[in-house]
Amino acid sequence: MGVPAIVTAGDRGAARAVYGESKVFLEVEGRALVSRVVAVLQAVPEVSEVWVVGNAERLEEIFGRNGLRAELTKPLHIIEQHRNLYENCWEAFIRALPGAGPEGREPGEADLDAQVLFLSGDLPFATPQEISAFIRDGQALDCDYALGLVAEPALEPFTTGKPGQPVLDVAYFNLREARLRQNNLHIAKPLRMGHRHYIEEMYEHRHMRKFGNMFAIALRLVFQKGGFVVALFYFLMHLGGLADRKGYRGLADWMRRAVTLAHTERVLSRILDTRFRFLVTEVGGCAIDVDTEADYDAVRARFEEWSQQQDRRAAELVGPLPLPAEAARTPEQGSVAGGESAAATKKKEAASQQGAPASREKEA
């Protein structure tokens, strides 16, 4: 059975505008970013249908332009946005439930394990292979909510360039295992998340750069969501990120020694009251979104180069997309949080069969 994909394309709440425009409607080579994401999802065999939540009138206009709807091979549903990200996700979810009408329906016990893919609508370099592998590996994890991460080396093409070429300023989580960036892919069973409404607060403060903001969130964690240890851990993780962005790399590296993937999973499981896991992926394109004018300028300037690089990388690391029948089956092995991805495992198995030692994968 396929997974519904919910594309968040709202411009209210904590959403940012770029050049005065909602990010998802920014155009690259004549096509809005949100339409690129929807087009990519058409080739993901695990995705059964696509829901886009945002400014419905503008979305209808975008998908009615130049015959874009004629390219669709999966059902496309457009929903008017609500007040914030959490409400947008929830309203799309209850409409995606089996047998739901245009306004959705009240979830029941039979829906507890209903699973959906959430992703952003401003991902210019998403590939079908990356999303397909994420869904398959996420379904193999013993959890109710998996968030994708990608390690720093996978994003080097976006952060480096020849003299005069624009590059992206990428922020990372500084963890003991590696410097990692979230890749905008989430696979979840919303009804298994006891405190799912906390995701909105985490989203609103995802760009925390001020000490005062971090301290205020830490205090709320002390009194509301898990106690002093959780608050200290959260504060330390974000303080390390702030030190990294300010150029104090040595200090950031020292702080991250206390912040591991496994510990972070336990903290987030406690805050969200769910079984949370990280899923480290390898391709990288989905980790690139458009948050600033500088991001948008760089994406437009190097779009063809970076797109081709991601297509090659996805084909090399993931290989051909599975057939729809294969995609419907849960894989026997997948990525494990804090461990290797499925692609890395396959490489080692192949090397072992050939009698040669497997090359060591980059830390992820």
Residue 348: pLDDT band with limits 50, 70, 90: very low
Q: How do residues 152-163 score in pLDDT, each as one tens digit?
A: 999 999 999 999
The per-residue pLDDT of the chain, averaged, comes to: 82
Amino acid 149: pLDDT: 95
Residue 252 main-chain phi, psi, to 5 deg: -65, -40
**Predicted pLDDT at 246:** 72
What are the extents of the domains in the chain? 3-193+275-353, 194-273
Q: Residue 150 pLDDT more than 90?
A: yes
- In this predicted structure, which of 130-139, 232-241, 245-254, 280-289 has the lowest mean pLDDT? 232-241
44-67 confidence digits (pLDDT tens) = 999 999 999 999 999 999 998 867
User: pLDDT higher for 141 or 217?
Assistant: 141
Query: Who has greater pLDDT, 258 or 298?
Result: 298
**What values do phi and psi take at 326, rounded to 5?**
-70, -35
Neighbours of 333 (CB within 10 A): 12
pLDDT band at 207 (very low <50, low <70, confident <90, very high): very low
Mean pLDDT of 71-89: 92
d(CA 176, CA 250): 13
The residues pairing with 149 across neighbouring beta strands, listed in sequence order, are: 182, 280
Q: Which has more confidence, 112 or 254?
A: 112
205, 228 in Cβ contact below 8 A?
A: no
Checking if the pLDDT of 167 tops 80, the result is yes
Between CA 214 and CA 116 the distance in angstroms is 31
- What sign has the CA pseudo-torsion 107, 111, 115, 116? negative
Question: Considering only 12-21, 57-66, 124-133, 333-342, which range has the smallest mean pLDDT?
Answer: 333-342
Calpha distance 279→150 (Å, rounded) = 8
Confidence (pLDDT) at 131: 98
**According to the model, what pLDDT value does residue 137 have?**
97
Q: How far apart are CA 139 and CA 45, in angstroms?
A: 14
- Side chain identity at 241, as an amino acid letter? G
Residue 265 CA to residue 269 CA, distance in Å, equals: 6
Strand pairing partners for 8? 53, 120
In the prediction, which pLDDT does 8 show? 95
Residues 6+ positions from 195 with CB-CB distance below 8 Å: 225, 271, 272, 273, 274
Q: Mean of the pLDDT values across residues 172-188? A: 90
213-228: average pLDDT: 49
CATH number of 3-193+275-353: 3.90.550.10
**Winning range, highest mean pLDDT, from 10-14, 209-213, 357-361:** 10-14
Among 26, 30, 28, which Cα is nearest to 11's?
26
pLDDT at 11 over 50: yes
